């Protein structure tokens, strides 16, 4: 599952990706605005082309397996990031964040997600090197997550958020109104927190939960830490623009969560099968490899991932069209 790429390519790519992310952040702070549909589409298309080009560069270096792993990882992480974006949308609505401040909140969410995923990647890679049986744990966790993804309810999410808000308000003084994107403000001469601190805390906790999902998922495709990190960076690029482009349509993609659940379940099965194939646990088959356990190729994984996303998107579009006809 591990593939080697030239050191010069990996180091150059990391520098370029970092510069792109810094430029994206600077654009927000220098020219805060709500991007138009045309601007959002151009940015999303640009980032998608960059990701496709990056995979092509890997293939040109002669490592087609690594290129397939990157594409599969990027699509998996992108689908999970879109689901993350859906939660961001709910949080923005629930906390009544003014639209003109949402771009800053989104950027904080994206940067937090990237930092957390980076830490989880390092931890995951270290675990795999030290303890190959961790694939059993990753696989079981993804199978559980797939079930939760398919059958989670909005009421359960609301209950968790309500508990968070109550917990914060008991411990810190939060003002009733926002003061721009600031987390601290003056009220009657006293320094207090604004509701933005609650929003940022909810976003950060959401990022932690999604990092727990996304990292085992991509380690089911590749154990190369560089490809894992690159796929995550490209998956997070353009999410801010996608948020404003899709807006209220995100909650109408009714079958997206089932497509994501299927992907997570498939990768969970793949991880368990891989763990059985490289088994070293003495209480399972005497510590010997379980030869009949299938090893699913990267290209097969890529086909399943693309198909799941495509079917979920198509089914959602058909449902949306039928609903529009019924209402019309």
Contact criterion met (CB below 8 Å) for 87 and 206: yes
3-state secondary structure 258-298: HHHHHHHHHHHHHHHHHHHHCCCCCCCHHHCCCCCCCCCCH
Show pLDDT as tens, one digit a residue, over the chain (328 residues).
Answer: 455 788 899 999 989 988 887 787 777 666 666 777 788 889 889 999 999 999 999 999 878 888 999 999 999 888 888 777 777 777 777 777 887 778 778 888 888 888 888 888 888 888 887 777 788 888 888 888 888 878 766 555 555 555 666 666 667 777 777 777 778 888 777 888 787 888 888 888 778 877 877 888 888 888 888 999 899 889 888 787 887 777 656 666 778 888 888 988 998 898 888 888 777 788 787 878 888 778 888 888 889 988 988 898 889 888 888 877 777 5
Is 1 within the bounds of a domain? Answer: no
Is 2 within the bounds of a domain? Answer: no
Q: At residue 187, what are phi and psi to the nearest 5 degrees?
A: -130, 115
pLDDT at 253: 73
Contact criterion met (CB below 8 Å) for 302 and 68: yes
Is 219 within the bounds of a domain? Answer: yes
Is 20 within the bounds of a domain? Answer: yes
Is 265 within the bounds of a domain? Answer: yes
- For the beta carbon of residue 205, count every other beta carbon within 10 angstroms: 15
Is 300 within the bounds of a domain? Answer: yes
What's the rounded Cα separation, in Å, for the pair 268 and 141?
7
Residues forming beta bridges with residue 316, ordered by sequence position: none
CA distances from 188 to 11, 185, 196 (A): 52, 10, 19
Total domains in the chain come to 1
Nearest Cα to 200, choosing from 185, 186, 181, 187? 181
Contact criterion met (CB below 8 Å) for 241 and 43: yes
pLDDT at 53: 95
User: In which domain, by residue range, is 82 found?
Assistant: 7-327
pLDDT at 101: 78
CA distances from 48 to 1, 65, 238 (A): 25, 20, 8
Is 274 within the bounds of a domain? Answer: yes
pLDDT at 328: 59
Please, which residues have CB within 8 angstroms of residue 243's CB and are 6 or more apart in sequence? 85, 88, 89, 102, 106, 250
């Amino acid at each position: 599952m591990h593939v080697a790429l030239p050191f010069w390519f990996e180091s150059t790519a990391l520098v370029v990706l970092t510069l792109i992310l810094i430029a994206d952040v600077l654009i927000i702070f220098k020219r805060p605005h709500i991007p138009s549909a045309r601007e959002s589409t151009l940015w999303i298309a640009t980032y998608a082309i960059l990701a496709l080009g990056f995979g092509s560069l890997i293939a040109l270096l002669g490592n087609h397996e690594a290129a397939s792993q990157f594409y599969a990882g990027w699509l998996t992480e992108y689908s999970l990031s879109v689901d993350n974006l859906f939660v961001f949308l709910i949080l923005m609505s629930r906390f009544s964040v003014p639209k003109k401040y949402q771009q800053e909140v989104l950027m904080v969410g994206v940067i937090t997600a990237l930092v957390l995923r980076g830490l989880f990647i390092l931890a995951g890679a270290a675990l795999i090197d030290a303890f190959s049986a961790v694939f059993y744990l990753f696989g079981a966790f993804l199978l559980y997550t797939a079930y939760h993804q398919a059958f989670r309810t909005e009421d359960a999410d609301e209950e968790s958020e309500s508990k968070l808000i109550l917990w914060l308000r008991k411990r810190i003084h939060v003002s009733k109104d926002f003061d721009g994107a600031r987390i601290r403000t003056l009220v009657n001469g006293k320094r207090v927190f604004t509701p933005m601190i609650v929003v940022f805390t909810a976003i950060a906790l959401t990022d932690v939960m999604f990092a727990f999902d996304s990292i085992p998922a991509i380690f089911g495709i590749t154990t190369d830490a560089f490809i894992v990190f690159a796929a995550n960076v490209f998956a997070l690029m353009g999410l801010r623009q996608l948020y404003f482009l899709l807006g209220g349509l995100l909650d109408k993609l009714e079958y997206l969560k089932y497509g994501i659940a299927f992907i997570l379940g498939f990768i969970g099965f793949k991880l368990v099968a891989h763990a059985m194939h490289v088994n070293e646990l003495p209480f399972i088959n005497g510590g010997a490899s379980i030869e009949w356990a299938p090893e699913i190729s990267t290209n097969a994984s890529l086909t399943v991932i693309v198909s799941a996303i495509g079917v979920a998107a198509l089914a959602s579009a058909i449902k949306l069209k039928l609903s529009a006809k019924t209402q019309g």
